[in-house]
């Protein structure tokens, strides 16, 4: 039987296969009013289609722990109970299809308050539902972005509390797995990397200090998240900088520490924290970073990055490079990728009764 379609168990949650969907922002929530940050019809249809298509695990897009933590005013959030109730519609349907519902808890940091990508993605101000971003240091992401306000220690502790409260609400919303977003140049990643963290207090400088905020968030979320449910962490394994950035060696070291703090799987991506860098993309270009973590630490991993065809995905899992694969754009193009791959590889996935027809 195909390795890709073997179930995978973490704590007391069994995921029916190793074909998973990573968080991909839809920028389709209401920017203001009582439904701000809540998923709507678009989100339901988007996630429901991939669940009906046989995807084993769906990680709902970056979901902000506070209004200021959104990438754009159109992002999802989980800072109030209205949002919780709206998410329940999605989690119920995903579970009905045999798909495990997960959510990514996020804070955008200095890359917050931007327009939607198809409208240019430029930073926006209060006249367009925007706000002033915050970060570990008063260092702009690039020449287009404003200089963020540097967080005080009191504000850092407040954001840790926001992650804690978001975890509590995610559980109430019906999610079986939570993922902490520590990648792609958003707030936690900004603290981890010396490229963006220029602090001189207990949250900057040394490796131990730069990882302090991330571990405080992990501890807070893990305390709220039940012992029988898994907790993931998404990491950018490298900033793709030759000097003064977060490195693969840092990632390996950090993975072992995250494991000791109760993280069950590392979702391994790269980049996003430094503008203008050259990234050597190609099929499976990020898989070696996941494989290194899996081979050098006790941490299970999921791999992502231009994984597009069934045979390629099968080899990644069968060869022990990762425990699962995350298909992003390929699942946007083909919501039933898992069913098609199962047919090609001889695996099995849940097929909705409505897809069966007598002849």
In angstroms, what CA-CA distances link 275 with 136, 178, 195, 235?
A: 17, 28, 11, 17
Neighbours of 353 (CB within 10 A): 5
As given in the structure block, the two tokens for residue 166 are 């978001």
Identify the active-site residue in 8, 27, 74, 186. 186
Nearest to 233 by CA among 248, 223, 211, 218: 218
Pairing between β-strand 13-15 and β-strand 8-10 as defined by DSSP bridges:
antiparallel
**Residue 121 to residue 167: CA distance in whole angstroms:** 28
Contact status, residue 323 vs residue 302, Cβ threshold 8 Å: yes
As given in the structure block, the two tokens for residue 221 are 């979320």
Integer Rg of the chain from CA: 19
Nearest to 13 by CA among 53, 57, 55: 57
Contact status, residue 108 vs residue 64, Cβ threshold 8 Å: yes
Which helix (DSSP H) or strand (DSSP E) does residue 293 occupy? helix 287-296
Q: Which residues on adjacent β-strands are paired with residue 103?
A: 60, 178
**Number of helical H runs and strand E runs in the chain:** 11, 13
Measured at the CA of 204, the angle between CA 201 and CA 208, to 5 degrees, comes to 110
Contact status, residue 49 vs residue 331, Cβ threshold 8 Å: no
Residue 318's SS3 state is: helix
186 is catalytic: yes
Catalytic residues: 186
């Amino acid at each position: 039987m195909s390795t890709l379609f073997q179930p995978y168990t973490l704590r007391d949650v069994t995921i029916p296969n190793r074909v998973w969907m990573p968080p991909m922002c839809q920028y389709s929530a209401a920017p203001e009013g009582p439904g701000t940050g809540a998923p709507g019809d678009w989100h339901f249809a988007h996630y429901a289609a991939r669940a009906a298509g046989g995807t084993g695990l769906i990680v709902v897009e970056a979901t902000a722990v506070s209004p200021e933590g959104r990438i754009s005013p159109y992002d999802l959030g989980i800072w109030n109970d209205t949002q919780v109730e709206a998410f329940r519609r999605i989690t119920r349907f995903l579970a009905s299809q045999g798909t495990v519902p997960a959510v990514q808890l996020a804070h955008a940091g200095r890359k917050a308050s931007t327009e939607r990508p198809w409208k240019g993605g430029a930073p926006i101000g209060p006249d367009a539902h925007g706000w002033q971003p915050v970060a570990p240091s008063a260092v702009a992401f690039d020449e287009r972005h404003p200089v963020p306000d540097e967080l005080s220690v009191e504000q850092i502790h407040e954001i840790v509390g926001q992650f804690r409260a978001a975890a509590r609400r995610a559980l109430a919303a019906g999610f079986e797995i939570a993922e902490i977003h520590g990648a792609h140049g958003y707030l936690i990643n900004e603290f981890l990397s010396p490229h963006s963290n220029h602090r001189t207090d207990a949250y900057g400088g040394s490796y131990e200090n730069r990882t302090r905020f991330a571990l405080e968030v992990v501890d807070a979320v893990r305390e709220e998240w039940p012992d029988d449910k898994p907790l993931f962490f998404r990491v950018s394994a490298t900033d793709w900088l030759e000097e003064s950035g977060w490195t693969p060696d840092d990632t390996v070291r950090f993975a072992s520490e995250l494991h000791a703090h109760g993280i069950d799987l590392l979702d391994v991506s790269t980049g996003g924290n430094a503008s203008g860098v050259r990234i050597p993309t190609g099929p499976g270009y990020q898989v070696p970073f996941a494989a290194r973590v899996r081979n050098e630490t006790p941490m299970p991993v999921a791999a992502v990055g231009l994984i597009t065809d069934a045979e390629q995905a099968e080899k990644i899992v069968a060869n022990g490079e990762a425990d699962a694969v995350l298909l992003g754009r390929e699942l946007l193009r083909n919501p039933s990728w898992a069913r098609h791959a199962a047919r090609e590889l001889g695996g099995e996935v849940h097929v909705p009764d409505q897809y069966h027809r007598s002849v």
